[in-house]
């Protein structure tokens, strides 16, 4: 099978890393790829990944059998639609289905219609509606930009003024969104919702538009600092499995969240084929969906795929072709996997770039997946906020952690930062939040 992977982050490097080891895969390409991916796939950096017809033309010229779209922006821009229109199998939802991630208010609407447990919420169009919703739900306040915001659109705060300010910024700055189904201009919106307590879990549910297969759950560490201090980020580390998770969790999420959502999307005439990323809070009142994404999570993918034993290419192709039934359930290693993000100085507000990275090629029992890196002559330099993710596996979480952190210590990058408590609580037998 010849495959083209779209994207340039550590998640795409993880996908390519796994596909490269897959006996079903004969040729691998990436667009645009990154310096780490270059070692495993031919990279095509000259194509705009938000331009569906260009990506489809590349896929056709390369004669690939399958296109796998990593990030949300190309999905929301309709890249999967363009590839499918060119007659090529594509793993990733249509633009209409990717609205599950592209619009928080749309996702809430689908969840309501499908009876999916989630935080109560109000979609607000002006400051008065925001103030009323903040009063309704009380503190801590949760305020979310409606559109894509690269992990920076959500503020969770006990300070009412901070919540009001974030809502005002979202309402003032969000460009008008045009619904792809009706063409009606909705204008800027912000979602205010009730606060959910409890540990978070990320579960990737692979769907062909009708059937659903769950991968192994993982946990992400969204806050910048140890002990969950500091601002939200794209994710600072992850691990899998979750020894503390209640038995039956995956079955419950499949029954109450994934299958009803996939059925509701099909009912609306916009079937969702791809990864439905279910972000969950395990609250004292039961599971609640915190967010849906329309793609694999980053950095959770790094640990989930490190444990996958069966063919990833086969699974993604079956999903792309509507053939998930009777596809065999994925097979998992009993090993644990831990990933730690090495971020640039100043991340997330203003990361410094252009600093030389040394040592990442040889991390002992760990390996580095590239995210914000680029070539500069013979050197690899930082080029973004999350620079690398270091991954290791081991017989248990403690061993995987030790290997991952030994790997992190071998990376040389001036001013870099990382969390030191990824998977710590879980490795010590506690519930996996610091
Ligand atoms: P989202 O982009 O919706 O995933 O939100 C980013 C992060 O903000 C989540 O992973 C949570 O850590 C936090 N968050 C979002 N919604 C809530 C909520 N209702 N209650 C508590 N924390 C939340
Ligand atoms: N790790 C969070 C995300 O991928 O959205």
Domains 2-91 and 200-427 share a fold: no
Thinking of the domain 124-188, which architecture would CATH place it in? 2-Layer Sandwich (3.30)
Sign of the torsion angle spanned by Cα atoms 180, 46, 352, 411? positive
* pLDDT at residue 152 in the model: 63
pTM to 2 decimal places: 0.94
Per-residue pLDDT of the chain (434 residues; tens, 9 = 90+): 999 999 999 999 999 999 999 999 999 999 999 999 999 999 999 899 999 999 999 999 999 999 999 999 999 999 999 999 999 999 999 999 999 998 888 999 999 999 999 999 999 999 999 999 999 999 999 999 887 776 568 899 999 999 999 999 988 854 444 333 333 446 788 999 999 999 999 999 999 999 999 999 999 999 999 999 998 899 999 999 999 999 999 999 999 999 999 999 999 999 999 999 999 999 999 999 999 999 999 999 999 999 999 999 999 999 999 999 877 899 999 999 999 999 999 999 999 999 999 999 999 999 999 999 999 999 999 999 999 999 999 999 999 999 999 999 999 999 999 999 999 999 999 987 76
Q: Is residue 137 in contact with ligand 1, taking CB distance under 6 Å?
A: no
And the tokens for 335?
């090993």
Nearest CA to ligand 1 atom 3: 291
pLDDT digits (tens, 9 = 90+) for 320-331: 999 998 778 999
Closest CA to 116 of 104, 107, 126: 107
CA distance 198 to 149: 24
Nearest CA to ligand 2 atom 5: 297
Q: Please enumerate in sequence order all residues whose Cβ is within 8 A of that of 388, keeping only pairs 6 or more positions apart, or say none.
A: 10, 341, 342, 357, 360, 368, 369, 370, 371, 373, 411, 413
9 CA distance to ligand 2 middle (Å): 12
The atom of ligand 1 lying closest to the CA of 196 is 20
The atom of ligand 1 lying closest to the CA of 153 is 2
CB atoms within 10 A of CB 259: 17
In degrees, rounded to 5, the angle at the alpha carbon of residue 4 between the alpha carbons of residues 404 and 241 is 30
Nearest CA to ligand 1 atom 11: 290
Nearest CA to ligand 2 atom 4: 297
Which H or E run includes 109?
helix 104-114
Task: Specify whether the CB–CB gap between 334 and 306 falls below 8 A.
Answer: no
In a mutational test of the pocket of ligand 2, which residue from 11, 200, 202, 290 has the highest number of ligand atoms less than 8 Å from its CB? 202
- Asked if omega into 216 is within 30° of 0 (cis), the reply is no
Domain boundaries, the chain: 2-91, 124-188, 200-427
CB atoms within 10 A of CB 387: 31
Q: Please enumerate in sequence order all residues whose Cβ is within 8 A of that of 391, keeping only pairs 6 or more positions apart, or say none.
A: 14, 302, 303, 306, 337, 338, 339, 366, 367, 368, 369, 404, 407
CA distance 200 to 114: 22
CA distance 38 to 247: 40
For the chain, the farthest-separated pair of C-alpha atoms sits apart, in whole angstroms, at 58
Thinking of the domain 200-427, which architecture would CATH place it in? 2-Layer Sandwich (3.30)
CA distance 286 to 32: 41
| CATH match of 2-91 with 3.90.226.30 | no
User: What is 40-64 written as a DSSP string?
Assistant: TSEE-TTS-TT-HHHHHHHHHHHT-
Task: Specify whether the CB–CB gap between 388 and 416 falls below 8 A.
Answer: no
């Amino acid at each position: 099978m010849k495959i083209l992977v779209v994207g340039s982050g550590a998640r795409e490097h993880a996908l390519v890393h796994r596909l490269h080891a897959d006996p079903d895969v004969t040729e691998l390409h990436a667009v645009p790829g990154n310096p780490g991916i270059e070692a495993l796939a031919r990279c095509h950096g000259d194509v705009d990944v938000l331009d569906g017809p260009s990506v489809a033309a590349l896929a056709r010229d390369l004669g690939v059998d399958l296109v796998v779209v990593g990030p949300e922006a190309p999905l929301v821009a309709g890249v999967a639609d363009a590839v499918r229109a060119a007659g090529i199998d594509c793993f990733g939802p249509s633009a209409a289905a990717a609205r599950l991630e592209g619009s928080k208010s749309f996702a809430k609407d689908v969840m309501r219609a499908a009876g999916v447990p989630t935080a109560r919420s109000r979609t607000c169009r002006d400051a008065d509606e925001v103030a009323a919703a903040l009063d309704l739900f009380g503190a801590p306040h949760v305020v979310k930009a409606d559109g894509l915001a690269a992990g920076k659109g959500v503020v969770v705060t006990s300070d009412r003024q901070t919540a009001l300010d974030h809502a005002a910024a979202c309402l003032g700055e969000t460009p008008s969104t045009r619904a792809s189904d009706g063409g009606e201009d909705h204008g800027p919106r912000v979602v205010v919702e009730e606060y959910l307590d409890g540990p978070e879990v990320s579960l990737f549910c692979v769907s062909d538009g009708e059937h659903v297969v769950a991968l192994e759950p993982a946990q992400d560490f969204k806050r910048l600092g140890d002990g969950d201090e500091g601002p939200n980020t794209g994710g600072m580390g992850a691990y899998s499995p979750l020894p503390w998770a209640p038995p039956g969790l995956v079955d419950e999420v499949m029954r109450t969240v994934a299958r009803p959502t996939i059925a509701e999307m099909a009912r609306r005439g916009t079937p969702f084929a791809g990864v439905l990323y279910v972000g969950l809070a395990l609250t004292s009142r039961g599971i609640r969906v915190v967010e849906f994404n329309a793609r694999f999570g980053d950095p959770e993918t790094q640990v989930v795929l490190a444990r996958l034993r069966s063919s990833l290419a086969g699974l993604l192709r079956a999903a792309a072709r509507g053939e998930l039934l009777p596809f065999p359930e994925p097979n998992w290693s009993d090993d644990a996997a831990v990933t730690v993000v090495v971020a640039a100085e100043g991340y997330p507000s203003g990361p410094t770039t252009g600093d030389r990275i040394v040592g990442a090629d040889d991390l002992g029992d760990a390996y580095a997946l590239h995210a914000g890196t680029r070539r500069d002559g013979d050197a690899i330099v930082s080029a973004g906020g999350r620079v690398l993710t270091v991954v290791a596996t081991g017989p248990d979480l403690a061993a995987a952690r030790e290997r991952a952190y030994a790997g992190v210590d071998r990376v040389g990058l001036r001013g870099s930062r990382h969390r030191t408590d990824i998977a710590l609580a879980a490795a010590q037998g506690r519930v996996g939040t610091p």
